[in-house]
Structure 1
Amino acid sequence: MYPLPDLMLDRFCLQILPKIGHKIEWLDLEPLSMEQLHVKVICIQDCLYLLDGRFNQLQIFCVEIGMSFSSDSVLIINKEKLPNLRCFSLSRHSNAHFYDTVLIPLLYRMSNLEQLSLYLSCVHRNRFINGKNLKQNIIDYLPRLNQFQFNIRSTMLLKNQIDLPSNEDIQYTFKDFLNNEIISYVNYFLENNQGECLIYLYPYTLRYYDNIGNNFPGGLFTCVHEKSFPLMEHLTIMNRKAQKDKQCKKLKNTNQDLLVIEYSHLKRLTLNKAHDDYVEQFLLDTKTCLPYGLELRVDYKPLKRVTYNFKRNATRINCSKVKYICLDTDLRFSKHFKDYFLYIDVS
């Protein structure tokens, strides 16, 4: 491909290629003329393969690593410098094991980097990734870096540690970061011997937000399709424990209980690993107003309990508006079951 003006190149890549991509059998690109590369790959090895020196004129490289399983221990070792690279963005939606062994050495090859974006979830670590880690392992090695965007979730295995870092401890590690509002929150799941820490720059720019816990910091997340997530489209609840203050709220009967939650853009609600309290929370019309045509995924047995064997009037309005996707098979369904929902899929 011969060099094209930026406007023409953007039109070709963003408008023309998506329309004809399914008809293209072969696309011949000249590596020496490529200055930008935006690509999706299956695994980190593919990313390293592209950065083995063949695209030595590359200035902007944005890579999204897929969710397909790949052993991060099988790596391509390459130490060739990437002096022309000015902007690097890496995102991975699934859990990553390559932060220390692959990503950090890779960044050391980009000595002239000016813009860096990292969006990852790093698992099974001995300690959380915090501001001190980012400064000592990344920022101090990139003297020209002037823009650093990050959203990093790290999980730590708990092995009888006594002094576990608090959210205040994590925040303190960012004391030398200037002109940025950095959000962090820490959760510990002692039953699973696991701790979790999320650090990111505000405002939040991703289109998804995973693993919200009890220490959720709040705020407005306009990029995540009631208050904090006004445009949310997919919501999954995974909490098998009962709501602790449920009875207390009933006794107080505060005005807050009278507020009805409404997610106007919600398309899918999944409650397959949720306590009955959360199923009830979303199905009672006095607590939640579900949009018409919503896809509801929840186990049959808790649904049967919450709806009083599909006879409960307080949950009938919301259920009559949703398409129920049954997650159980080989069950004997109640005779009132099929008349309770807008649509049912039990295949």
Structure 2
Amino acid sequence: MDVLYSLFDVNNQRLVNITQENTFTNTLNFVFTTLTDDILSISDPIIDRFFMNILPRIHYNVKSLILNSLSMERILAGDYPNLSELKIFNVNVKVASHYFTVLCDLSLTTCYSSTLYKLCIHVMYYHDLLALLDGRLKQLNTLNVVIVKQEYNPTYVYNMNLSHLKCFSLQYDCSSDAYDGEILPLLRRMSNIEVLNLNLIIDSPVPFIDDQQVECMIKYRRLPNVKYHLFSLPFMFDGLQFIDNKFPNIIFNHVIRLVVDDNIPFEHEFFMRIAWCFPLLKVLTVYNATSQSPILNYNDNQLYPTTIEYPYLTSLYLLLAHGDYVNRFLNDRKTRLPHLTVLSVNYNDLRNVTRNFTNDRIRLNCIQVKQLSIGPKKIAHSEDFYAYFSLL
């Protein structure tokens, strides 16, 4: 991109010819990532020059476009006959409903391709996934799927040939019946699979899953009251749910969304491990109604041995957590949250921890909060409250 923008149309034909080679024109990235991992569009003057002068002369070479929703209208107005990959970031509901209405409520037999080899997609139901695997995508060898809603239909027939699939990734919140009757029969059809990533949340009664099941040699037994996580390494998904006090000391470099849940208190060491194991964590939800150890809990003037920092955390959900965890995260002697912008918390816990919004020890972690959820009650707030949350 920088080479194209800087050297295109310079008064040197040799340089112009070099900039139009595939090395510089196959992939065009119109976004940049900030230090806080936010994805923004490049400036309008640069986009305007590409749209008016550069893209019309290199459009045939373009195979991949990376866009922000703010810039995509101008860029996608062009013709790209060899485009095989399109990534669009920050697409909100309004933008999606305006530009992608043509794809709403289509029949399952509408979409097909003889050239598509990689597909990453969210589908509503399991039968939508089956429709994609009925032969219409003849060259597909990599499929990453998130199934949004749970269903189970024991009448599905698994007669498709999936020998062409080499890589398969699935995220699905399903029942144990759906696991037995849908997931396992589907995996049996993938005779040449090389990379398999499964992120399954299975309702009770929970099946015991061993390595033989992963190999589709299905032998399992029922165990009551079992909670476990089974995943291959490295963990490739961006979300992980229902981690408790006993989780492995593994670096999860891809996880940005995490839910922790236990009826045993989460202590200081647990949150130190969370910060270390999930270095890119952006969204954290805590479910724990049990109070922490009383030592240092509400002593704001005493330092912890180590202050924990979550440098990328932007959203924190504590509405269903004991008030101790509100103090744990908002007290800047215990935890630093330099980029926290979304906070969900019980109002009474928040009021107690902040001492009616006068406690300076808590103010620093709240200073950038732009979205605050404090439960269903509508409350007339004081001036101290709005001074605490000045960006609301």
CA distance in 2, matches of 1:17, 1:270: 27
| Residue correspondence of structure 1 range 48-87 to structure 2 within 5 A | 48-55=130-137, 57-67=138-148, 69-72=149-152, 74=153, 77-82=156-161, 84-87=163-166
Q: Is 1:280 the counterpart of 2:327 in the alignment?
A: yes
1:14 counterpart letter in structure 2:
E
CA distance in 2, matches of 1:300, 1:43: 37
Cα–Cα, structure 1 residues 310 and 109, in superposed 2: closer, same or farther, change >3 Å?
same
Is contact 1:284–1:318 with CA below 8 Å preserved after alignment? Answer: yes
Tell me which of 194, 201, 206 is aligned to 2:237. Answer: 206
1:48 counterpart letter in structure 2:
L
Query: Percent identity of the aligned residues?
Result: 27
Is contact 2:297–2:324 with CA below 8 Å preserved after alignment? Answer: no
Q: Is 1:13 the counterpart of 2:81 in the alignment?
A: no
Is contact 1:324–1:341 with CA below 8 Å preserved after alignment? Answer: no
- Relative to total residues, which structure has the larger strand share, 1 or 2? 1
CA distance in 1, matches of 2:302, 2:352: 26
CA distance in 2, matches of 1:208, 1:322: 23
Gaps of 5+ in 2: 1-25, 27-60, 66-82, 257-274
Higher relative contact order (CA 8 A, sep 6+): 1
Q: Secondary structure at the match of 1:107?
A: helix
CA distance in 2, matches of 1:337, 1:248: 25
Deviation per CA, 1:237-289: give whole Å up to 9, x if none.
1111111x3428999x998x231111121111111111111100011121112
Is contact 2:126–2:151 with CA below 8 Å preserved after alignment? Answer: no
CA distance in 2, matches of 1:126, 1:235: 26
Deviation per CA, 1:20-67: give whole Å up to 9, x if none.
993794898654555554433111111112223444x34514141332
Cα–Cα, structure 1 residues 319 and 54, in superposed 2: closer, same or farther, change >3 Å?
closer
Q: Which residue of 2 aligns with 1:271?
A: 318
Q: Which residue of 2 aligns with 1:196?
A: 227
TM-fit CA distance, 1:102: 1.0
CA distance in 2, matches of 1:17, 1:325: 28
| Residue correspondence of structure 1 range 182-261 to structure 2 within 5 A | 194-225=225-256, 226-243=275-292, 245-247=293-295, 257-261=304-308
Cα–Cα, structure 1 residues 84 and 254, in superposed 2: closer, same or farther, change >3 Å?
same
Is contact 1:59–1:84 with CA below 8 Å preserved after alignment? Answer: no
Tell me which of 106, 116, 131 is aligned to 2:196. Answer: 116
Cα–Cα, structure 1 residues 37 and 78, in superposed 2: closer, same or farther, change >3 Å?
farther
Cα–Cα, structure 1 residues 38 and 291, in superposed 2: closer, same or farther, change >3 Å?
closer
TM-fit CA distance, 1:10: 5.2
Q: Secondary structure at the match of 2:318?
A: strand
Q: Secondary structure at the match of 1:282?
A: helix
Q: Is 1:90 the counterpart of 2:90 in the alignment?
A: no
Is contact 2:342–2:370 with CA below 8 Å preserved after alignment? Answer: yes
CA distance in 1, matches of 2:88, 2:379: 50
Cα–Cα, structure 1 residues 304 and 234, in superposed 2: closer, same or farther, change >3 Å?
same
CA distance in 2, matches of 1:281, 1:16: 38
Cα–Cα, structure 1 residues 23 and 326, in superposed 2: closer, same or farther, change >3 Å?
closer
Cα–Cα, structure 1 residues 259 and 17, in superposed 2: closer, same or farther, change >3 Å?
closer
Cα–Cα, structure 1 residues 228 and 46, in superposed 2: closer, same or farther, change >3 Å?
same
TM-fit CA distance, 1:233: 1.1
TM-fit CA distance, 1:315: 1.7
Q: Is 1:106 the counterpart of 2:177 in the alignment?
A: no
2:161 counterpart letter in structure 1:
L
CA distance in 1, matches of 2:244, 2:87: 42
1:311 counterpart letter in structure 2:
T
1:263 counterpart letter in structure 2:
Y
Gaps of 5+ in 1: 141-155, 159-193
Task: Give the length in aligned residue pairs.
Answer: 283
Instruction: Compute the TM-score of the two structures, normalised by the length of structure 1.
Output: 0.68
CA distance in 1, matches of 2:237, 2:328: 27
CA distance in 1, matches of 2:223, 2:127: 26
